[in-house]
Amino acid sequence: MNEEIKDENVRKEWGKEVFDLLSWYKMDVVKNAKVMVVGAGALGNEVLKNLALFGVGNIIIVDFDTIEYSNLTRSVLFREADADKGFFKSEVAARKVKEINPNINVQYICGRLDSDVGLGVYRKMDVVIGCLDSRLARMQLNRLCMRANVPWVEGGIENLTGSVRVYRQGENCYECGLTENAKMNIFMQLSCAGIAHRNENLGHTPTTPVIASVIGAVQVQEAMKLIHKEEVREGIFSTLTGKWFHYEGMHNKTTVYDSAAFDDDCPSHECWNEVLRIPELSADTRVSDALLMLKEALKVKDVEINLRNDKFVDIIVSRHNNQRFTPMLPESKIPDYVDSNYDLYTSSRSDLNQNAYENIDEKFPYKRLTLREIGIPYYDVIEVSTEKDTYHVELTADEHRYPFCLNEL
């Protein structure tokens, strides 16, 4: 009995004996911190392990992919049985992180960072850590974090080389640092319905477990600094904001470059600070009811919901055989729809035309659908246009889905 009580006390005081020795470590700050990790591959595994060991109190994991055998050589949280059953990376990672530290809160989202995670979730985070392997995904995450005014830590690895950068609204920007060719390639992907998400899964970047450990450690080190906001303001910490940390493992070279690209005309820099909360509005609200709520809340006659992250596709036509298909899905779901339909899958992409809605108003013919069904995620912040102004409105009724986000901003 006494032994059980002792073990319980030790569990509740996770890390206290060690972290009390660190002059900068504030246990209450770390316990209350909210961190989102986007990407649960090799890099994400290392980041999550380190966050759990540090005792970061609230973690959200976002990843749409499943575990493959190729992941096992460099992913500390995954096992062969996980690959056998094709489990989702985010789900398994959440379970393993809780095994490391049972005292922390962990949630996972099996989905995409833009179409399945509402901006309201991003706004509640202290820091977002990106463990992504494509420029398109990084650009999307950058735009969301800029809108939410939340710093994010980017990490990238290949072979024995890796890099880390920190981006903050008003100081530096991922998109501004891209070359024109890189931007062109991304926008070409975005202009092709379904192709962008399909390309996310093509090919594998050669990486090693050691480079994931090195870069994941630096990412968490930066995140811990950003969590301690007061220490950063007082200059006790220097972050990698406006810098580029580069590690080359072949010859053990570490270099930090200046990298503070920030173009005032960049579309990524919009910051949605003023957000109207509507307690009854949810992603499960029908479009017809949502339009009515918005009119009443804004005291206007007409409103238009702008689908900033995910268009709604009702029709696809194949010019090859004049077949007409009615997916009635958000554009992010079209790749799976195409893959499941033989006639579409075997068609050339240039033969496919789609009809997509970017703006939703009273003329929208499918107002019985819910906001979620047209591509708006739970707890999102939607952009609403009226005749005179543009507003940003939170789907506040979805807040309960993320229990540790309930504290006020």
Mean pLDDT computed over 308-315: 92
CATH class of 276-405: alpha beta
More confident residue, 236 or 204: 236
- Per-residue model confidence as pLDDT tens digits over 71-109: 999 899 999 999 999 999 999 999 999 999 999 999 999
pLDDT value at residue 167: 95
The answer to whether residue 189 scores a pLDDT higher than 80 is: no
- The whole-angstrom separation of Cα 360 and Cα 366 is 10
- Per-residue model confidence as pLDDT tens digits over 4-50: 444 454 456 778 888 888 889 999 999 999 999 999 999 999 999 99
* Edge-to-edge strand ranges of the sheet holding 390-395: 276-278, 390-395, 381-385, 304-306, 359-360
* CATH 3.40.50.720 in the chain, residue ranges: 9-269
Residue 185 tokens, joined? 């390639």
pLDDT value at residue 344: 81
Helices (H), 76-179: 80-85, 89-100, 119-123, 135-148
Task: Using pLDDT thresholds of 50, 70 and 90, give the confidence band for residue 244.
Answer: very high
CB 101 within 8 A of CB 55: yes
Q: How far is CA 58 from CA 45, 94, 391, 400, in A?
A: 16, 11, 30, 15
Mean pLDDT computed over 109-121: 95
- The whole-angstrom separation of Cα 191 and Cα 195 is 9
Task: Kindly state the DSSP code that residue 71 receives in the 8-state scheme.
Answer: G
Task: Using pLDDT thresholds of 50, 70 and 90, give the confidence band for residue 207.
Answer: confident
* CATH 3.10.290 in the chain, residue ranges: 276-405
Mean pLDDT computed over 196-202: 44
CATH 3.30.1450.10 corresponds to the domain 9-269: no
Percent of the chain clearing pLDDT 90 (strictly above): 67
The answer to whether residue 355 scores a pLDDT higher than 90 is: yes
Task: Using pLDDT thresholds of 50, 70 and 90, give the confidence band for residue 322.
Answer: confident
**Strand-pair partners of 76:** none
Q: How far is CA 29 from CA 46, 124, 387, 401, in A?
A: 22, 15, 44, 23
Task: Using pLDDT thresholds of 50, 70 and 90, give the confidence band for residue 197.
Answer: very low
More confident residue, 203 or 83: 83
CB 326 within 8 A of CB 315: yes
| Residues whose CB is less than 8 angstroms from the CB of residue 51 and which lie 6 or more positions away in sequence, other chains included | 35, 37, 59, 97, 220, 223
The answer to whether residue 409 scores a pLDDT higher than 60 is: no
- Per-residue model confidence as pLDDT tens digits over 146-158: 999 999 999 999 9
